[in-house]
Amino acid sequence: MSEEFVQILDWIAILCLLAGALLSLIAGIGLLRFPDLLSRMHAASKPQVLGLLLVLVGIGLRILPQEETGVFSAGTLVLVGLFQVVTVPVAGHIVARVGYRTGRIRRDLLGTDELADRLESDRFTKSGAENNVS
């Protein structure tokens, strides 16, 4: 690769690394500042994943010119990013459900509570089935 192209890739990598670090910092500040579990869960998942993906893109652009060594491949970065994109939303959803069911969320901050209606209908269905069995 030409020197000018490598230098352009380096600058793009620096911008990606800085943007990713900034988003991760914002996620950390959100974890400390937000008032309840659901807001913190949102701050822990959304900007953190995007920040990590930007950091991985920056690292990938930085190691692209030195790929001949074979010590570290960009495929590893893709796997790390894919793993994060798949697992973080699932973990956030599980944390939110557990927090809701244990009463650790502030219901006054909820705009719409669709889960309460669903849980109530499930309880009604189960109690009706128990009454029919008796």
What pLDDT, on a 0 to 100 scale, did the predictor assign at position 86?
93
Segment-wise mean pLDDT, segments of 10 residues, the chain, 134 residues = 86 95 92 87 86 93 71 80 92 87 81 79 71 57
pTM: 0.75
Residues 6+ apart with CB under 8 A from 82: none
Q: Residue 86's closest CA among 48, 49, 44?
A: 49
- Signed CA dihedral, 97, 99, 100, 102: sign only: positive
